[in-house]
Amino acid sequence: MAFEITTKTWPGKIPEITLGKDKGGGFRTVTIGGEETLPFHHFEGRTANRPVIALEVPDSDPENWIELAKEPYRDVLDNPVAWAKRAVDDFGADLLCLHLRGAHPDRGDRSAEECAELVRTVLDETRVPLIIKGPGPSDKQNEVLRKCGEAAEGEGCLLASAVEGHYQTLVATAIAYGHYLVAETPIDVNLAKQLNILISEMNLPPQRIVIDPLTGGLGYGLEYTYSVMERIRLQGLGGDPMLQMPMICFVGEETWKVKEVKTTAEDQPDWGDQRGRALLWEIGTAVSLLISGAGILVMRHPEAAAVVRKAVGELMGEGN
């Protein structure tokens, strides 16, 4: 007697979101979402789109990055446009995450106008969708992302991030200039839902919101993040419209700051080669978040991203 897999039909569906703008001439768009079942449960329902990988592009030399993370961009550390082009042309990024860290008052205090000009240049030079990540929740971030949203009007960018207490300006910017919005909450299902409700009440459709549940790296709360993401996805598929959004995880940011990645083999000989350990740490974190529902992974090292891209293909059954 053949074994039959028990399947489940879900009443809810994760809506599709297409980032970028199809203008022809080689400009690429990226579509996420569309799941009718749990991640990679192809036997239960349709997974319309493969998860995608964005590579980080800081707007200034990231002095807080360890040398291993800087290696692939050693000669372009102070040139974000060249960095962005390399991430796309050489490393195959599906989209880019331009981190406007230099706008922070303690990191150069770059003006909103300078940031907007950089956003426009990166869009024109790389022709892939863009995640525009501000310097951190504050009045300065509101000013910067508003100006950048205006400069990128109609380009379908993803603005990061709206948080409780700092979301009204970003919602208005997304509505006015045709963008999407990351809603960030600290690893809690109810807080995620509440922020999505607040944003929706300002008339930004839920179909233009991407959830950032916040991410713990491997060994640093990853299992808690995983369980919260599972609950978000279960409730969304179960029919809750305020949790039916794709999810984004800033994997690189969390991975490359932990001691197991930063510690050298000289300092801890028993831990083995630092480079291999660091790459595996980012890979392990990313794949775990993939199978808990992430639709966008923002990664740092292109070699780790390449391994995860291959894993996505295998999980999607591509080439079988």
Return the CATH number at 135. 3.20.20.20
pLDDT at 294: 97
pLDDT at 319: 62
Give start and end residues of each alpha helix (H) in 127-255. Answer: 139-151, 168-177, 189-200, 222-237, 251-255
Asked if residue 162 lies in contact with residue 175, where contact means CB atoms within 8 angstroms, the answer is: no
Q: Looking at the domain assignment, is residue 241 inside a domain?
A: yes
pLDDT digits (tens, 9 = 90+) for 3-50: 777 889 999 999 999 999 887 777 789 999 999 999 999 999 999 999
pLDDT digits (tens, 9 = 90+) for 119-129: 999 999 998 99
Q: Looking at the domain assignment, is residue 279 inside a domain?
A: yes
- Nearest residue to 249 (alpha-carbon basis) of 88, 51, 50: 51
Could you list the residue range(s) of the whole structural domain that residue 110 is in? 17-313
d(C-alpha 243, C-alpha 192), whole Å: 8
Q: Looking at the domain assignment, is residue 10 inside a domain?
A: no
Q: Looking at the domain assignment, is residue 115 inside a domain?
A: yes
**Token pair of 49, please?**
């789109």
Q: Looking at the domain assignment, is residue 147 inside a domain?
A: yes
pLDDT digits (tens, 9 = 90+) for 87-109: 999 999 999 999 999 999 999 99
- Number of domains within the chain: 1
What share of the chain in percent tops pLDDT 90? 90
Q: Looking at the domain assignment, is residue 9 inside a domain?
A: no
As a whole number, the mean pLDDT across the chain is 95
